[in-house]
A and B are shown apart, each in its own frame.
Chain A
């Protein structure tokens, strides 16, 4: 099996993740999309490591996993906190941080 297929799978997963982030309103779903993009990247990194015959890519993949784990903690905490105050998990409702022409 060609290593190219892994890369193709990675690209597909990344695109699906990105699309999820862009089109879904639910924050949890969008979050899952982000996770999917991260894992697609990991897959690509591991494949590159295989192609190059060294461990650089694999090491990087570990780093991504660690960062992703931390990011999940923070991200989920934010989502839960927002849900508690606003009774909504829609990312479109969280739109206060923006350019307000008329503050009144």
Chain B
């Protein structure tokens, strides 16, 4: 089956040069402007907009979504050669050697992201209307969410690294604002204690700082690109002068403008940026704490869209990485490490949101691994990204629905047996769960299996890589099955372990409809848009995501994996079955007793509960030395710099003290002093002369 997917995506076209946008695509700026305008209105009007703030809040992304669909249809009906369009919006920065235009790149890759962001975003906005109904700051919440959507769309539509960075920082800001959304004590409606508020704001700062480390990589990469190539545009802007400095980065790279060493350096810096934004090893520690934000935020920003920006960056920079196999290998290694890391952490977490966050980390690890595999993987990274956007957002919203029912409880040890009380949440969550573990014919099966298969492909000059990456990806699939099943069974199956005051109930329709929509996406997306069967009745014009992405990421290179694809599929499914079975006998079967307080557990369990001690390592390596370094600097500043300044001042005061002693105020004494002085002078003069 899966070979079909691979072979179906055989080369159909080479990378396409952009052309000046026409039709709906030329209005792409409105995709960004609508949510941005809504955010501005909601923020500027303040409390006056409290009563109706959620209306523009969800209508703006919905309108963007409609526009996105129109643009997508336009590109789909156009020839492949016309699917990369560029909207030029004028000169942005014109300073000496840097001549940067403000433009949007509307191509299959960015439009895929636009659809994902606006569609999933709209559903999450609608869900939030009900989820945040009791919050006194719901209007502000929607303003930040819209700001996020606008920034994220800027990120994916940008035609240059600098504009991408602008959106990159925008989503970072929105993420920071939303993680720390509950950063003050609230005692009516949605209650927040002071200690909790403090914890939330610390979590938002942690995310912000970890992201800044990644941004450093982005800035260095941009600096190197500008120094080497004199431009930051991805591709040459159509209709502009085509001198050497005007050619886009990728055109110059294709023309041999970069040495391999320089491309490797830039690639590694971009990887650092991606690690920060996408919570990849070693900058992954912020994602678990980011769950302090409201659940819709976790679904939209920390599962479906923002955290995948790193993958987008790598795939977008594909021509650079094609030139630098070592940088690509580093991407794959980071992905493989994070994949296992997230999966192991996910197996031990009892907090439902943190378990999902660990799962997100692990799934993005898959995407990074795929992106690091090069032409055999770029398309699958994006395909898995979109599929993951559906099922993970669905599961996060499901978790929010459960928390809503259980009085904001997140400890899965206090759930159990919820399937009977929350039929819709249970059923929609089940689709997400089956989709992520790769249950046959659901989305995960069509999006993750090709990555595992591609990981087993031996590329030129590789020795151990296919085996290591392949086995890690395969093992990750088994672990995914275990931890997701554990999460599902602990929440919905088994005996009830509720707090006495909990009265679980199904959520309002405004929350269940988005859940249903996302469940449909989780179930059907893979079959409809990824799987490309050879059945005669299957319409040939029907879009296939991997083929659709070809103009941007290039065709999927066909290579034979080192093991036959059937073996890979069967072994993966067997591992998944083992994972589910293990989770069932430990957490799901009716006879099992899940203790309400976590048992001590093995050293590995304890380590996984503590995020494999990443915080401890960070503390030991960075935070504590950093604290001492700043303390030493503060001390030096006080002792040396301030000491010198204050010493001079004290000296002046002391001299003044001595000088004012003789000032007694007696005129005759002054006269006597003068007379005496004259006498002394005369004596001296006489003495010198004689």
Contacts and interface: CB of A to CB of B under 8 A. Distances in A.
Interface of A: 18, 21-23, 25, 30, 91-92, 94-99
Interface of B is mostly: helix
A99 B663 contact: yes
B663 A92 contact: no
A58 to B, nearest CB: 24
B663 A22 contact: no
A92 B667 contact: yes
A103 B102 CA distance: 67
A22 B668 contact: yes
B25 to A, nearest CB: 79
B143 to A, nearest CB: 57
A25 B671 CA distance: 12
Interface of A is mostly: loop
Nearest to B663: A99
Contact of B675 (A18, A91, A98, A99): A18
A98 B667 contact: no
B660 to A, nearest CB: 4
Nearest to A91: B667
A74 to B, nearest CB: 16
22 contacts: A18-B675, A21-B671, A22-B675, A30-B671, A91-B666, A91-B667, A91-B668, A92-B667, A92-B668, A94-B665, A94-B667, A95-B665, A95-B666, A96-B665, A97-B663, A98-B663, A98-B664, A98-B665, A98-B666, A99-B661, A99-B664, A99-B665
Given A99-B660, A99-B661, A22 B672 contact: yes
By size class, the interface of chain B is 10 to 19
Given A22-B672, A22-B675, A98-B664, 7 more contacts: A21-B671, A22-B668, A91-B666, A91-B667, A92-B666, A95-B666, A99-B664
A3 B8 CA distance: 132
Contacts of B665: 94-99
B661 to A, nearest CB: 6
Nearest to A19: B675
Interface string B656-679: 000011011111100110010000
Contacts of B660: 99
Contacts of B663: 97-99
A85 to B, nearest CB: 16
Interface in B635-690: 660-661, 663-668, 671-672, 675
B664 A95 contact: yes
Nearest to A27: B667
